[in-house]
A and B are shown apart, each in its own frame.
Chain A
């Protein structure tokens, strides 16, 4: 017989979504790390190699990817601070507010980065 179509899930609540966002951003950042080290490694091949790579990163697609990267970092940072507060401070009944606040702060950081990009261009 078929498995049930799950009308509801025990995971359908904000604290679990916050966990998923924190875990997914962490995994994505871990996947990016080798690229980061590869880029830094270009410096070993001399100034010209690094400069040509840095010039390439000024294209719009790289800038868009950079913005996503900043957003991921912000999500992971604010989510991590929320978990530290949850575990090391006395319990607060305002958990959903904390989740909304950390998400809002992450989006704000991403938007500030975008604004800065616009100013720099």
Chain B
């Protein structure tokens, strides 16, 4: 078969929780094989007790992210062949509690989205007219640039500020806040700006840009956070926030 690569892949997989260890497996190499295919092979053929998470398998749902050879990746769209000939080392996402094996607990990640008011808040009274959203307006273009986030937490796992500062809201939550701050229909702007101006908000970002470097959707949370920093600075100068 075209593209068929013979041989096996040596795979080291994290088993257990924080105090677990690595187990080694040998998985047959296949054409167009993704890292998620490798994990699924182990779970179905070698060890049914392996815990991991996935849903769509096509890069839409954001549930299959793991640490692959030391860096966070979406495993359903990561081809084994592109990682080189060496062994694979798989761990759950960094900066999050480990539940079991390759499944990380994403509760703190999504709690921070809520903390950053990362949800659309409609006006208290429905307007008679539809809001006008010119597609080429500056605000809409800023929102569009960050809107395709799938919530996979790769940026959060890649972020050293999130690792060092447990209060830091993280790139995904702040990117979401930025898209909403640029949504003319949203009514929670002042409250959201106050929430992200807190310690652990956008000002805690050190602009390492690892989020931008690793985002599988090629989004740029660093740019979104820089935009929020400017909004917060303007509001602070105007006396709108303390």
Chain A residues proximal to chain B, CB less than 8 Å: 1-2, 4-11, 13, 15-16, 19, 83, 86-88, 91, 95
| Binary A-proximity of B89-127 (CB < 8 A = 1, otherwise 0) | 101001000000000000000000000000000000000
User: What total of A-B pairs shows CB separation below 8 Å?
Assistant: 66
Which A residues are in CB contact (< 8 Å) with B227? Answer: 91
The count of chain B contact residues (Cβ–Cβ below 8 Å) is 31
Question: Are A9 and B70 neighbours in the complex by a CB distance under 8 Å?
Answer: yes
Question: Are B209 and A1 neighbours in the complex by a CB distance under 8 Å?
Answer: no
Question: Are B69 and A11 neighbours in the complex by a CB distance under 8 Å?
Answer: no
Which B residues are in CB contact (< 8 Å) with A87? Answer: 207, 226, 229-230
Which A residues are in CB contact (< 8 Å) with B210? Answer: 10-11, 13, 15-16
Cα separation A39 to B158 with both chains bound (whole Å): 43
Please tell me if B213 contacts chain A, counting CB pairs below 8 Å. yes
Cα separation A95 to B222 with both chains bound (whole Å): 11
Cα separation A32 to B86 with both chains bound (whole Å): 45
Which A residues are in CB contact (< 8 Å) with B183? Answer: none
Which B residues are in CB contact (< 8 Å) with A83? Answer: 207
Which B residues are in CB contact (< 8 Å) with A91? Answer: 220, 223, 226-227
Sample 20 A-B pairs with CB under 8 A, ordered by A number.
A1-B21, A1-B22, A4-B89, A6-B70, A7-B84, A7-B89, A9-B71, A10-B71, A10-B94, A10-B158, A11-B208, A13-B213, A15-B213, A16-B160, A16-B209, A16-B210, A83-B207, A86-B226, A91-B227, A95-B209
Partner of B230, one of A9, A19, A88: A88
B143 to chain A, nearest CB (A): 14
With A87-B229, A91-B227 as known contacts, state yes or no: A10 contacts B214, CB within 8 Å: yes
Question: Are B209 and A15 neighbours in the complex by a CB distance under 8 Å?
Answer: yes
Question: Are B213 and A8 neighbours in the complex by a CB distance under 8 Å?
Answer: no
| Binary A-proximity of B207-239 (CB < 8 A = 1, otherwise 0) | 111101110000010110011011001000000
